[in-house]
Amino acid sequence: MHSLTSMLQSLTCPIPLQRYPQVLLAHGGGGSLMRQLIEEMFLATFQPETAWQHDAASLALSGDRLAFTTDSYVVTPLFFPGGNIGSLAVYGTVNDLAMAGARPHYLSLSFILEEGLPMQTLWQVVQSVQAAAEQAQVRIVTGDTKVVDRGKGDGLFINTAGIGTVEQDSFIGPSAIQPGDVVLLSGDLGRHGIAILSAREGLAFETTIESDSAPLAIAVLDLCRQVPVHCLRDLTRGGLASALNEIALSAHQTIQLETNAVLVPEEIQGACELLGLDPLYVANEGRFVAFVPAPAAAAALDCLCQYNPSAQIIGTVTDDQPAQVVLQSPIGTQRILGFLSGEQLPRIC
């Protein structure tokens, strides 16, 4: 992402910065300044198939099951090691579609800008959105821009909504989980939350920890083609522990985890100890869990390891009640992983 960042910074902003160094309220006002912003920055960058200035994009989509999702992004700071709010807004929504077993096709993109935002910042984010959309193989087809007065926002917020097509016949979700299912984790844990926190607080660790923010749809669709998948979930706010708790509650099943199987890199572990955080609850933006029947576990692991060699089998499902998430240590002790009331780190996405 570093080379991407420097590449983006070398492109010239299409809005004349000497005249409009900052976003004005009028850039959201429906007049000629908003029109200039939309045409010269957004349309020129995203080149949607249908004209953005129309009220809605018209899409040709075959298949009779669609997936539809939305997320708003309020991450602070806007730029962090391994990404920024623009790439995050694309990957996050693409990943939500992938977790429904859907192939992502189209995204909407809506900005809430604070008056006074440097125009160059907006331009970098827009370029990053487009680069991320190309990487994730989705098109930005419709959008909106609002500007709020200085002090009523925080630089910029983004909303993306996404449409995908569901490609497999079987339902993917907590209710499909069976006792005996195996739980796989697609990589190591904790990079995104720690990257954000270190950027926010100006903390310097021995090495720069980069966010794991990445599009997951290609790996997930490959997995779904190769093995029967019962449930998928990406590990964003609240991390692995919160995601598994939600699934356990919805599925009315217990999830048993092996402590040693969950990989937390040494540098993340060290940062978490320093900061008093539990890495099992720290947010990730490029990791997911998959629930598959036990006979398919080895093939599933092989598939996931092609995309990330740190993928692991981390646990199994039982019908023990009450439904909860239990962490098993190698010496046989158990720890119940509950819900936190909130996030350890606010505004990580």
Write out the binding residues for its own copies, residues 261-290 only, by CB under 8 A.
Answer: 283
Which pair of tokens denotes residue 287? 């990791």
| Cβ-count burial 285-321 (b if 16+ within 10 Å, e if not) | bbbbbbbbbeebbeebbebbeebbeebbbbbbbeeee
Total chain residues near its own copies (CB under 8 A): 86
- Residues numbered 131-150 forming contacts with its own copies, rule: CB under 8 A: 141-144, 146-149
* Cβ–Cβ < 8 Å for 42, 52: yes
> Which of 155, 182, 180, 147 is CA-nearest to residue 291?
182
Give the single-character DSSP code of 118.
Answer: B
Q: Please provide the DSSP assignment of 162-218 as one string.
A: EEEEE--SS--SGGG--TT-EEEE-S---HHHHHHHHHHHT---SSPPPP-----HH
Nearest residue (CB) to its own copies, 5 versus 87: 87
Q: Rounded to the nearest whole angstrom, what is the least distance from the CB of residue 339 to its own copies in the complex?
A: 4
Residue 192 CA, distance from chain mean position: 10
Nearest residue (CB) to its own copies, 5 versus 45: 45
Tell which one of 40, 71, 167, 210 touches its own copies (CB under 8 A): 71
- Residues numbered 181-220 forming contacts with its own copies, rule: CB under 8 A: none
Tell which one of 43, 161, 176, 301 touches its own copies (CB under 8 A): 161
Tell which one of 8, 13, 15, 57 touches its own copies (CB under 8 A): 57
Q: Rounded to the nearest whole angstrom, what is the least distance from the CB of residue 171 to its own copies in the complex?
A: 8
Tell which one of 28, 86, 215, 315 touches its own copies (CB under 8 A): 28
Tell which one of 18, 19, 151, 331 touches its own copies (CB under 8 A): 151
Which pair of tokens denotes residue 335? 């720890």
Stretch that binds its own copies, among 80-88, 227-235, 308-316, 328-336 (CB under 8 A): 227-235
Stretch that binds its own copies, among 119-127, 166-174, 204-212, 313-321 (CB under 8 A): 166-174
Nearest residue (CB) to its own copies, 52 versus 123: 52
**77: cis peptide before it, omega within 30°?**
yes
- Residues numbered 83-122 forming contacts with its own copies, rule: CB under 8 A: 95-97, 99-100, 102, 106, 108-112
Q: Rounded to the nearest whole angstrom, what is the least distance from the CB of residue 298 to its own copies in the complex?
A: 26
| Using rule CB under 8 A, residue 29 touches its own copies | yes
How far apart are the C-alpha atoms of 253 and 243, rounded to whole Å? 14
Indicate the residue type of 49: E
Tally of CB atoms within 10 A around 12: 9
| Using rule CB under 8 A, residue 242 touches its own copies | yes
How far apart are the C-alpha atoms of 285 and 88, rounded to whole Å? 8
| Using rule CB under 8 A, residue 61 touches its own copies | yes
Q: Rounded to the nearest whole angstrom, what is the least distance from the CB of residue 80 to its own copies in the complex?
A: 17
Which pair of tokens denotes residue 233? 């979930």
Nearest residue (CB) to its own copies, 8 versus 133: 133
| Using rule CB under 8 A, residue 70 touches its own copies | yes
